[in-house]
Structure 1
Amino acid sequence: MRLALTEVADPGKAPAMQAYMKSDMPFLGVQAVARRTALRRTFAEHPLGSAAEWRETVLDLWREAEYREERYAAIELTGHRLYRGFQTVSTLPMYEEMIVTGAWWDYVDDLAIHRVGGLLSAFPDTMRPLMLEWAHDGDLWKRRTAILCQNGFKAATDTGLLHACIEPSLSDTGFFARKAIGWALREYAKTNPREVVRYVDHMGISGLSRREALKNIPPVDLSRYDSRPSASP
């Protein structure tokens, strides 16, 4: 795996990539398109025969990574088309480890939206209470995952679950919690802007989260949806 990545690396780009990501782990200097092309070829040449072997390979890549792109490779392996049938609730502990130990947005957001979200969509009865637990967890990145896992669900969004996952983090003044709240609401506003405006006003959400949540609703629509009483003349 590392050889495939090294062959398409541009070491001259590695320092800037590391600085942008504020990463302690170094980069090889592999751009996203080149990385995905190299990994598709490598994954096709080395198929994995069972769910257990797949999970073991993913976690070996993750735990033994010396460069950040190797962890990106582990995430891409989790979503490879050959292993769609392995996406069951039993994979959640693997994702949990990757989220908690990765502890940064470039890892966590991909896992939250495309892996944990997929499990929630496929197994809502089991996953819903687990996401409620994560929403109250002391780990920021598990809370962020619970907030973001329905991004892209559109009309299928479980609004009650979205609100229940947001509310434990409303008192968190940190950037990554506030940004996640705003982003999740902004995504849902594409489907139901009236509900998002009502919720933001009702909960008194302000600052970064409010700006993010209402970013794509034109001002004329905001006034139409605004649920607050008008000021007295």
Structure 2
Amino acid sequence: MEIQKQIRKLGDPVRAKQAQRFFKTGKGEYAEGDIFLGISVPEIRKLTKPFQDLSLTNLQKLTKSKYHEERLAGLILLVHKYESAPSESEKEQVFKTYVGLFPYINNWDLVDVSCHRVVGAHLENRSRKRLYAWAKSEDLWIRRISMVSTLWFIRKGDLEDAFSIARIHLNDEHDLMHKAVGWMLRECGKKDLKKLENFLDSWSSKMPRTSLRYSIEKMSERKRKFYLTKDKN
């Protein structure tokens, strides 16, 4: 496809090596085997603009690419496709396409750039049961999708699912889930600090340290110290 030709022209081997280290693509790491071309996110966003009319079939092909930046471009375009869809039936089709691409949404940046704007947006006025099922997945990236998708609800002032799904993830062993949980809790606190404090009063002593530190970043120094030492008092 033409978009792939243009993406590959921008490749930078030096930046590609840096990205592969940053995104942990080595043996046994969370993104083992992922291949980067070495292109920045702003460059990818700019490059996608003339291709916003690509068909869902072509977006599926793009998002299944072995190259990370091509998958990123596909997901950016899928978000646009969802947000610009003129009917609920077309939004449903894009949503189903996105869910079908879960095996290729396989790094934290790919999750974070897209899931709340497709999954979160689509489930705003629908049943959210599937988020709870995904929260128990063995797949790290599906678990992260379950958490980060709640960002859409949080920004609308709807916090309950974020807190509930965060509780499911408190025993998750992966650092990338600890960060995702802490991030969403911090976002909840921006909307309703008291609700975040109520959550932390019950759960801070059981939370991974990373989740706790992320969640309290915007609090006063006194409050941060209180929660960081709460389980020691």
Please say whether Structure 1 and Structure 2 have the same fold, judged by a TM-score greater than 0.5: yes
* Cα shift readout 1:93-146 (whole Å, capped 9, x = no counterpart): 32223333332201112222222122123xx223x1222222233333222212
Residue 115 of structure 1 is aligned with which of 113, 118, 124? 118
In structure 2, how many angstroms separate the alpha carbons of the residues matched to 1:223 and 1:66? 45
Match of 2:140 in 1: 140
SS at match of 1:88: helix
Shift of 1:170: 1.5
Match of 1:57 in 2: 58
Residue 106 of structure 1 is aligned with which of 100, 109, 113? 109
| AA aligned opposite 2:96 | P
Q: Structure 1 residues 13, 125: closer, same or farther in 2, change over 3 A?
A: closer
Q: Structure 1 residues 98, 157: closer, same or farther in 2, change over 3 A?
A: farther
| AA aligned opposite 1:79 | V
Corresponding position: 1:28 with 2:29: no
In structure 2, how many angstroms separate the alpha carbons of the residues matched to 1:152 and 1:93? 18
| AA aligned opposite 2:98 | Y
Using the size of structure 1 for normalisation, the TM-score is 0.79
Identity %: 24
Shift of 1:183: 0.8
SS at match of 1:59: helix
In structure 2, how many angstroms separate the alpha carbons of the residues matched to 1:16 and 1:224? 39
- Is the CA contact (8 Å cut-off) linking 1:152 and 1:187 kept in structure 2? no
Q: Structure 1 residues 198, 82: closer, same or farther in 2, change over 3 A?
A: closer
Match of 2:165 in 1: 165
- Is the CA contact (8 Å cut-off) linking 2:111 and 2:141 kept in structure 1? yes
In structure 2, how many angstroms separate the alpha carbons of the residues matched to 1:77 and 1:62? 10
Match of 1:200 in 2: 200
How many pairs are equivalent? 216
| AA aligned opposite 1:184 | M
Shift of 1:75: 0.8
Question: Over aligned residue pairs, what C-alpha RMSD do you find?
Answer: 2.8
SS at match of 2:115: helix
Structure 1 runs not aligned, ≥5 long: 49-53
Using the size of structure 2 for normalisation, the TM-score is 0.79
Match of 1:51 in 2: none
Structure 2 runs not aligned, ≥5 long: 26-32
Q: Structure 1 residues 11, 91: closer, same or farther in 2, change over 3 A?
A: same
Q: Structure 1 residues 205, 151: closer, same or farther in 2, change over 3 A?
A: farther
